[in-house]
């Protein structure tokens, strides 16, 4: 899924009259209170890890909303600013992340101005400090100016934050520790945000909205659990439990959709409202809780949407408070357009996993009913329990035999290839037509000399003609894809146990990506073609290999990694991609032999070592555990290259450390132990370590994870050696020298020693900033001594 999105325009959903709507409107229309403008000196605002000093300037508060003042603007009176923001990340990784953006591991910045939004007791805390300094006085002479300057910004930001602020303001008890967000302006860093949100998975987030080549990014400088949440993890927001989804969707002839989604919802704490997420392309028009109308509050905000992974949060406010532990039937009516025609009735589904209301991704059963134009096919997970056509409308209903994490769908004018393998059914759909973007264009071609003319003079006109190459056949690989997906599924099931659902549908999507949902895979239309058209293939051979060999197996592998086993947080999601991609490489190794796998690993290495505009390698953008935060304005390629490429290399290195048998037993154990559960990076480290051969160096893999998972760097390694003594008392003395990485970098590198008779000794050497020497006793002279002959360590 894409982390960034183009700056979306603010869309206003119709609101029914009600408390939440009134509060939200008041937030959007809020302005500053000219009677609440002060000359201020030395005020402090401390929120968890965030410290703000308003040393010298003017402060104006907003008018009250729901009885509370929820905003303030501060403007420094001193040239260059006299306010200060301090945020100290609690660990090395976050300090490092911050440093890549602001050249400092800590945020300590002088500011010119700040706009605050808050739902806690921040107003009272600021006002209580007023008597501390006689200079703190009302400043009516500045009130009009500040109001005029800052009210538009307040309203602008209020639109995006309205649902989130409303959620807190509905809580009539008042919050001690409510949300606080500050939008700061500093001479050095420009505009940046720091937010404390007690409802966030990581409550402290600092970052900046930036644009690069017309694309908006929210660069997350640092993100971490706030101090009191670090001390007491039970403070963490309890989750609402969702189960038993029933969705009725109508796809209209113009491809818009009208959907009714019903789901059972059990809150784990009392509350006036419940938060859900949905694609910004869907508008929730109505909601009911236990058949009684509830209020819906949906807004769009780039900043908020990007922090929450591109989705729109919306609130449902029932007529009565929700009680913890009680189960409610929620019903949503939503409509919008998530299907686009890419030409010739080849369709693109844009919101594949977010076309209905979600709260995180939770395991649930699904009953899916689709009504759609009868000339199309519509595929979705689950078994078909109803299928009939009346007039121009076909109705298909599916039920999942077990709980799945997400229900996607796809549609088109399909040709099918269906294969049964034991308990599994694979249904591969191909578009009958080719989308517009892949249609060949006429090319001007300079032809060879006409036959019979041997000597062409320079003055002769060139022989130019227009040629349209033959169109590729979008069904060319249908049969072979079905065979490959079925084989990949069988191979993986033999290694990891049964897939998430016994029926797997593979369907095409225009674009250069794939996505593997439970029981339904989207596969780039490029993977259906015999020869992938040239101009799209920037990566040359490895791209060709990826679309023709790897992608379908990668998406098939997500039936396990991501759908049976899930990730604990965004910091652990790399595991799903690395495991899926390496499973695909393992299948390729079995079906095609090791050469293609080596070519893929080599091309991943080149992509990791490629240099960006700043002269730094793509790898150095940040450690793999930053997940989607790697898709930032500094190096937009980083997320993809590091997650897939470095992720595959991490698995490859573990395999070389363990040996094949132990490595595959380890993967089987991950699939078994974390079936239906979330896997964290540390869980994976501990489990992998338990599969290392006895007496391995770095037995807990702590150093391995520190360098490759929590850190960056790709070393250059060089081996020198000499054989000393006389047989049978020989000693091989070797040295491995490391360069091109920081002083604290250390890796395990294998040295392979072949002796006569074919015997091989592998010596693992721990490298470091000083050359690492090692000694191996030998009875006879070595035939060959090689550093890392089997891609056991990622190196230059
Ligand atoms: Zn993937």
Which 3 state secondary structure label does DSSP give 751? Answer: strand
pLDDT above 70: residue 687: yes
Q: Of 13-27, 35-49, 416-430, where does mean pLDDT reach its minimum?
A: 13-27
Task: Please give the distance, rounded to the nearest whole angstrom, from the Cα atom of residue 199 to the centre of ligand 1.
Answer: 28
Q: Of 65-69, 119-123, 161-165, 762-766, where does mean pLDDT reach its minimum?
A: 161-165
Task: Please give the distance, rounded to the nearest whole angstrom, from the Cα atom of residue 492 to the centre of ligand 1.
Answer: 15
* pLDDT of amino acid 364: 95
* pLDDT of amino acid 239: 76
What is the helix (H) or strand (E) element at residue 49, kind and residue range? none
pLDDT digits over 475-499, tens only? 888 999 999 999 999 999 999 999 9
pLDDT digits over 335-369, tens only? 999 999 988 889 999 989 899 999 988 899 999 99
What percent of the chain shows pLDDT beyond 90?
A: 72
> Region 733-739: what's the mean pLDDT?
97
pLDDT band at 695 (very low <50, low <70, confident <90, very high): very high
> Region 284-308: what's the mean pLDDT?
75
Task: Please give the distance, rounded to the nearest whole angstrom, from the Cα atom of residue 578 to the centre of ligand 1.
Answer: 8
Task: Please give the distance, rounded to the nearest whole angstrom, from the Cα atom of residue 220 to the centre of ligand 1.
Answer: 23
* pLDDT of amino acid 164: 85
Q: Of 151-165, 226-240, 316-330, 701-715, where does mean pLDDT reach its minimum?
A: 226-240
Which 3 state secondary structure label does DSSP give 687? Answer: helix
pTM of the model: 0.88
* pLDDT of amino acid 7: 29
pLDDT digits over 234-251, tens only? 777 667 999 999 999 999
> Region 28-34: what's the mean pLDDT?
94
Q: Provide the sign of the torsion angle of the four alpha carbons 681, 686, 691, 697, taken in this order.
A: positive
**Average per-residue pLDDT for the chain:** 89
Which 3 state secondary structure label does DSSP give 231? Answer: helix
pLDDT digits over 464-480, tens only? 666 777 788 888 889 99
* pLDDT of amino acid 21: 85
Task: Please give the distance, rounded to the nearest whole angstrom, from the Cα atom of residue 574 to the centre of ligand 1.
Answer: 9
Cα(117)–Cα(146) distance, integer angstroms: 16
pLDDT digits over 513-569, tens only? 889 999 999 999 888 988 765 544 455 566 777 888 889 999 999 999 999 999 999
Task: Please give the distance, rounded to the nearest whole angstrom, from the Cα atom of residue 647 to the centre of ligand 1.
Answer: 11
pLDDT digits over 417-428, tens only? 999 988 899 999
* pLDDT of amino acid 18: 53
* pLDDT of amino acid 19: 81
Cα(671)–Cα(497) distance, integer angstroms: 8
* pLDDT of amino acid 442: 74
Task: Please give the distance, rounded to the nearest whole angstrom, from the Cα atom of residue 269 to the centre of ligand 1.
Answer: 35
pLDDT digits over 147-176, tens only? 999 999 999 888 888 888 888 888 755 566
Q: Quick check: 309 and 627 in contact, CB under 8 A?
A: no
Q: Quick check: 93 and 710 in contact, CB under 8 A?
A: yes
Of residues 756 and 490, the one with the higher pLDDT is 490
What is the helix (H) or strand (E) element at residue 254, kind and residue range? none
Task: Please give the distance, rounded to the nearest whole angstrom, from the Cα atom of residue 554 to the centre of ligand 1.
Answer: 6
Alpha helices in 593-720, H assignment, sequence order:
594-609, 638-640, 647-658, 660-673, 681-689, 702-708
Q: Quick check: 407 and 366 in contact, CB under 8 A?
A: yes
pLDDT band at 74 (very low <50, low <70, confident <90, very high): very high
Task: Please give the distance, rounded to the nearest whole angstrom, from the Cα atom of residue 32 to the centre of ligand 1.
Answer: 48
pLDDT digits over 299-311, tens only? 654 444 444 445 6
Task: Please give the distance, rounded to the nearest whole angstrom, from the Cα atom of residue 657 to the centre of ligand 1.
Answer: 25
Task: Please give the distance, rounded to the nearest whole angstrom, from the Cα atom of residue 577 to the centre of ligand 1.
Answer: 5
pLDDT band at 395 (very low <50, low <70, confident <90, very high): very high
Task: Please give the distance, rounded to the nearest whole angstrom, from the Cα atom of residue 563 to the centre of ligand 1.
Answer: 11
* Helix (H), strand (E), coil (C) string for 405-426: CCCCCEEECEEEEEEEECCEEE
Q: Residue 644: CA atoms inside 13 Å, Cβ hemisphere, count?
A: 22
Task: Please give the distance, rounded to the nearest whole angstrom, from the Cα atom of residue 330 to the centre of ligand 1.
Answer: 32
Sort residue 762 into left (φ over 0), alpha (ψ -120 to 50) or beta: beta
Task: Please give the distance, rounded to the nearest whole angstrom, from the Cα atom of residue 126 to the centre of ligand 1.
Answer: 48
Distance of CA 773 to the CA centre of its chain: 42
Task: Please give the distance, rounded to the nearest whole angstrom, from the Cα atom of residue 355 to the centre of ligand 1.
Answer: 20
Task: Please give the distance, rounded to the nearest whole angstrom, from the Cα atom of residue 562 to the centre of ligand 1.
Answer: 8
Cα(582)–Cα(586) distance, integer angstroms: 6
Beta strands in 661-771, from DSSP E residues, in sequence order:
678-679, 716-724, 730-739, 748-755, 760-766
Classify residue 716 as exposed, middle or buried by CB count within 10 Å of its CB (0-12, 13-18, 19+): exposed
Backbone phi, then psi, for 331, in 5-degree steps?
A: -130, 125
Cα(267)–Cα(325) distance, integer angstroms: 6
Cα(396)–Cα(378) distance, integer angstroms: 8
| Bridge pairing between strands 190-196 and 180-186 | antiparallel
> Region 436-442: what's the mean pLDDT?
80
pLDDT digits over 613-646, tens only? 889 999 999 999 999 999 888 888 899 999 999 9
When computed from its CA atoms, the radius of gyration of the chain, rounded to whole angstroms, is 30
Tell me the sheet residues that pair with 392: none
Q: What are the residues whose beta carbon lies below 5 Å from ligand 1 (ion)?
A: 577, 580
Task: Please give the distance, rounded to the nearest whole angstrom, from the Cα atom of residue 522 to the centre of ligand 1.
Answer: 11
Cα(473)–Cα(482) distance, integer angstroms: 16
């Amino acid at each position: 899924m894409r982390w960034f999105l183009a700056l979306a325009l603010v869309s206003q959903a119709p609101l029914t009259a009600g408390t939440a709507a009134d509060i939200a409107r008041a937030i959007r229309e809020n302005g500053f209170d000219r009677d609440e403008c002060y000359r201020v000196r030395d005020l402090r605002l401390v929120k968890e890890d965030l410290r703000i000093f308003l040393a010298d300037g003017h402060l104006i508060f907003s008018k009250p909303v729901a009885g509370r003042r929820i905003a303030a603007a501060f403007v420094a009176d001193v040239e260059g600013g006299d306010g200060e923001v301090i945020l100290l990340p609690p660990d090395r990784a976050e300090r490092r992340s911050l440093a890549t953006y602001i050249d400092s591991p800590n945020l300590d910045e002088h500011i010119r101005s700040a706009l605050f939004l808050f739902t806690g007791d921040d107003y009272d805390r600021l006002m209580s400090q007023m008597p501390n300094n006689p200079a703190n006085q009302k400043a009516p002479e500045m009130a009009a100016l500040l109001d005029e300057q800052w009210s538009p910004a307040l309203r602008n930001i209020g639109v995006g934050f309205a649902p989130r602020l409303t959620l807190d303001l509905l809580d009539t008890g008042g919050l001690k520790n409510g949300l606080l967000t500050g939008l700061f302006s500093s001479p050095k860093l420009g505009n940046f945000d720091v937010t404390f949100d007690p409802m966030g998975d990581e409550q402290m987030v600092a970052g900046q909205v930036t644009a690069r080549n017309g694309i908006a990014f929210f660069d997350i400088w640092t993100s971490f659990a706030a101090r009191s949440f670090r001390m007491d993890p039970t403070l963490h927001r309890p989750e609402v439990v969702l189960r038993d989804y029933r969705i009725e969707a109508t796809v209209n002839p113009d491809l818009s959709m009208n959907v009714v989604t019903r789901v059972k919802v059990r809150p784990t704490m009392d509350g006036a409202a419940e938060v859900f997420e949905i694609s910004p392309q869907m508008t929730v028009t109505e909601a009911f809780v236990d058949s009684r109308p509830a209020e819906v509050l949906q807004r769009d905000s780039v900043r908020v949407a990007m922090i929450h992974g591109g989705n729109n949060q919306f609130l449902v406010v029932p007529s009565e408070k929700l009680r913890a532990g009680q189960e409610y039937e929620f019903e949503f009516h939503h409509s919008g357009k998530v299907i686009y025609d890419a030409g010739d009735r080849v369709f693109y589904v844009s919101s594949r996993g977010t076309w209905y209301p979600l709260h995180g991704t939770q395991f649930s059963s699904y009953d899916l009913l689709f009504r759609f134009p009868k000339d199309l096919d519509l595929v979705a997970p689950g078994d078909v329990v109803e299928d009939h056509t009346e007039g121009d409308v076909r109705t298909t209903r599916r039920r999942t035999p077990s709980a799945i994490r997400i229900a996607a769908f796809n549609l088109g004018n399909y040709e099918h290839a269906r294969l049964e393998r034991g308990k599994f059914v694979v249904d591969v759909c191909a578009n009958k037509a080719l989308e517009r973007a892949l249609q060949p264009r006429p090319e001007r071609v300079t032809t060879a000399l006409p036959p019979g003319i041997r000597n062409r003079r320079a003055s002769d006109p060139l022989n130019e003609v227009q040629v349209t190459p033959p169109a590729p056949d979008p069904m060319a690989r249908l049969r072979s894809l079905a065979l490959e997906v079925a084989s990949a599924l069988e191979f993986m099931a033999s290694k990891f146990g049964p897939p998430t659902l016994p029926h797997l549908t593979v369907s095409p999507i225009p674009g250069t990506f794939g996505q593997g949902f439970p029981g339904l895979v989207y596969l780039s239309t490029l993977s259906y073609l015999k020869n992938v058209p040239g101009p799209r293939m920037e990566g040359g051979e490895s791209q060709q290999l990826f679309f023709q060999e790897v992608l379908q197996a990668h998406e098939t592998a997500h039936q396990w990694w991501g759908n049976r086993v899930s990730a604990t947080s965004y910091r652990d999601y790399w595991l799903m991609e690395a495991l899926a991609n390496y499973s695909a490489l393992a299948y390729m190794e079995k079906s095609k032999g090791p050469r293609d796998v080596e070519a893929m690993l080599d091309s991943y290495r080149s992509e990791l070592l490629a240099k960006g505009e700043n002269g730094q390698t793509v790898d150095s953008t940040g450690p793999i555990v930053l997940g989607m935060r790697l898709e930032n304005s500094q190096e937009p390629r980083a997320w993809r290259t590091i997650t897939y490429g470095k992720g595959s290399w991490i698995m490859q290195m573990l395999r070389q450390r363990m040996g094949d048998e132990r490595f595959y037993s380890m993967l089987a154990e991950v699939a078994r132990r974390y079936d239906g559960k979330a896997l964290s990076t540390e869980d994976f480290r501990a489990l992998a370590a338990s599969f290392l051969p006895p007496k391995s160096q770095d037995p807990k893999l702590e150093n391995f994870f520190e360098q490759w998972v929590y850190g960056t760097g790709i070393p250059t390694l060089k081996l020198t050696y000499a054989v000393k003594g006389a047989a049978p008392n020989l000693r091989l003395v070797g040295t491995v020298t490391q360069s091109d990485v920081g002083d604290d970098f250390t890796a395990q590198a294998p040295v392979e020693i072949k002796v006569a008779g074919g015997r091989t000794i592998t010596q693992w050497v721990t490298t470091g900033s000083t050359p690492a020497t090692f000694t191996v006793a030998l009875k006879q002279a070595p035939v060959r001594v090689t550093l890392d002959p089997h891609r056991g360590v990622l190196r230059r």
